[in-house]
């Protein structure tokens, strides 16, 4: 549910803003707060996964995330909402990178591509089901219900995690210093450049995605539940793309996959601002964008997980952090552009960021395939 929770506010922004008596762009800072706490926390927690038992870290992170999400369902002011989103972000920062590190440790080659695609498809499925379900609960009762529903599902996931995941002691414990993992990362060729691809890519994507619900509500006069149906469309298509992405990546290679889908995504994002006022066209664009993102992001993640094999928790923590730096930049800049200029300006900025990601990817002389 950490996947759905990161997206859930997109469909709920209008309802949250109305309930808390604040402008929509102010409510959107709930996305920014979550992302910022994740982005700060993930790099700090990263070396722990390279040194200590991952099972304990996974359970602890999931528990903290559960607490923050449950409290969001009790928030009755903007300040408490921000605070509880921060707690959820810290929990996710400890939990998510260690999942990717676990996958990178136990799988390699084409099998890694396939497993990465399957896990990414699970994230997409959480968007396709969790976000609309949250929107439905919000429509039937209030936006608080969306977070309570998310908390219940997280509790189920935590129970399964506690029972099913075996002890995962580190194979690379380094008693000589916490900062060793950071030094290894900095001195690994292309590691920082690859992380910058994640940063610019996610800045572009989240700049648009965060305000998709706001755009749909304003353009088509949708209620919260109807807006949630748009996310079903996106999430379902993204699920299909991510599930089969592994085979496409093995066929074309990671670099080609990132390049092709970055260019396609930039074009589609720009198209949202031009033709998105027509519902049928909007849905078509979102389906193709979801397919492109599902393939491209899976390829990028599969590449980064193997850049520093001895410190996978650290590199994936930084990758997760850079993803949320992108979410923070995208949502903050998008909110400003939406308020001052309009949604079309948001799409231009997002397309530009995606093109920068493609340029960085192609500038790497030895991009891992």
Asked if the structure places residue 170 within a domain, the reply is: no
Residue 191 to residue 85: CA distance in whole angstroms = 30
How many domains is the chain partitioned into structurally?
1
Structure tokens at 40: 């700060």
CA distance readout (Å), 8 to 64, 171, 325: 18, 36, 18
Q: Is residue 169 part of a domain?
A: no
Residue 326 lies inside a defined structural domain of this protein: yes
125, 241 in Cβ contact below 8 A?
Answer: no
54: left (phi over 0), alpha (psi -120 to 50) or beta: alpha
CATH number at residue 338: 1.20.1250.20
Contacts of 58 (CB under 8 A, 6+ apart): 95, 98, 99, 161, 165
Short-list 143, 89, 99, 158, CA closest to 123: 99
The pLDDT of residue 56: 86
User: Which one, of 277, 140, 292, lies nearest residue 220 by Cα?
Assistant: 277
Distance, C-alpha 90 to centroid of its chain: 14
Is residue 368 one of the residues assigned to a domain?
no
In sequence order, the 6+-apart residues with CB closer than 8 A to the CB of 102 are 54, 168
Q: Look at phi and psi of residue 342 and say left if phi exceeds 0, alpha if psi is from -120 to 50, else beta.
A: left
Residue 353 lies in a domain: yes
CA dist., res. 215 & res. 217, Å (int): 6
170 dihedral zone (left: phi>0; alpha: psi -120 to 50; beta): beta
| Sequential DSSP letters for 7-23 | HHHHHHHHHHHHHHT--
Nearest to 68 by CA among 7, 153, 147, 159: 147
Q: By the 8 A CB rule, do 367 and 304 touch?
A: no
Is the full-model pTM beyond 0.85?
Answer: no
- Do 123 and 242 contact (CB within 8 A), yes or no? yes
pLDDT in tens, the chain (369 residues): 666 666 667 668 888 888 999 998 888 888 788 878 888 888 888 788 777 777 888 899 999 999 999 999 999 899 999 999 999 999 998 988 888 777 776 677 777 777 777 877 777 776 666 666 666 767 767 888 888 888 988 899 899 888 887 776 766 655 556 777 788 788 887 888 889 999 999 999 999 998 998 899 899 998 877 887 888 888 888 888 888 888 888 888 888 999 999 999 999 999 999 999 999 999 999 999 999 999 999 999 888 877 877 677 788 888 888 987 898 899 889 999 999 999 999 999 999 999 999 999 888 755 555
pLDDT at 352: 98
Query: Which runs of consecutive H residues, i.e. helices, occur in the chain?
Result: 2-20, 24-27, 29-51, 54-72, 78-106, 109-140, 144-164, 180-186, 191-209, 212-220, 224-252, 254-275, 279-304, 312-340, 343-363
Residue 332 DSSP class: H
Tell me if 309 is assigned to some domain: yes
d(C-alpha 29, C-alpha 117), whole Å = 30
- Identify whether the C-beta of residue 321 lies closer than 8 Å to the C-beta of residue 92: no
Q: Is residue 75 part of a domain?
A: yes
Does residue 190 come out as left (phi exceeding 0), alpha (psi in the -120 to 50 range) or beta?
Answer: left
Is 172 contained in some domain?
A: no
Query: Domain limits at 261?
Result: 2-164+180-363
Question: Judging by beta carbons within 10 Å of its beta carbon (0-12, 13-18, 19+), is residue 160 exposed, middle or buried?
Answer: exposed
């Amino acid at each position: 549910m950490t996947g759905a929770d990161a997206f859930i506010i997109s469909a709920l922004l209008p309802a949250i803003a109305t309930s808390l008596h604040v402008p929509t762009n102010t409510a959107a800072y709930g996305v920014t707060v979550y992302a910022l706490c994740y982005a700060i926390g993930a790099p700090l927690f990263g070396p722990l996964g390279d040194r200590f038992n991952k099972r304990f870290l996974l359970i602890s992170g999931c528990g903290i995330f559960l607490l923050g999400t449950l409290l969001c369902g009790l928030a009755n002011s903007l300040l408490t909402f921000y605070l509880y989103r921060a707690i959820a972000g810290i929990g996710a920062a400890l939990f998510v990178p260690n999942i990717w590190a676990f996958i990178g440790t136990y799988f390699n080659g084409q099998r890694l591509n396939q497993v990465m695609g399957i896990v990414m498809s699970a994230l997409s499925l959480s968007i396709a089901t969790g976000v609309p379900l949250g929107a439905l609960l919000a429509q039937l009762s209030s936006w608080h219900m969306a977070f309570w529903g998310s908390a219940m599902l997280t509790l189920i996931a935590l129970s399964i995690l506690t029972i099913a995941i075996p002890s995962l002691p580190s194979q690379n414990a380094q008693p000589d210093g916490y900062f060793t993992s950071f030094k290894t990362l900095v001195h690994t060729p292309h590691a920082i450049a690859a992380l910058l691809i994640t940063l610019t890519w996610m800045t572009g994507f989240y700049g648009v995605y965060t305000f998709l619900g706001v755009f749909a509500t304003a353009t088509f006069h949708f209620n919260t539940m109807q807006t949630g149906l748009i996310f079903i469309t996106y999430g379902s298509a993204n699920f299909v793309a991510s599930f089969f992405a592994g085979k496409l990546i093995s066929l074309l290679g990671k670099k080609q996959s990132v390049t092709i889908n970055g260019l396609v995504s930039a074009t589609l994002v720009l198209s949202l601002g031009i033709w998105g006022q027509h519902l049928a066209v909007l849905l078509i664009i979102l389906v193709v964008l979801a397919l492109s993102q599902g393939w491209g992001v899976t390829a990028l993640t599969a590449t980064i997980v193997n850049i520093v094999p001895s410190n996978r928790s650290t590199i994936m923590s930084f990758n997760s952090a850079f993803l949320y730096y992108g979410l923070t930049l995208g949502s903050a800049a998008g909110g400003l552009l939406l308020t001052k200029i309009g949604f079309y300006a948001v799409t231009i900025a997002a397309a530009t960021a995606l093109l920068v990601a493609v340029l960085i990817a192609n500038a790497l002389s030895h991009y891992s395939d």
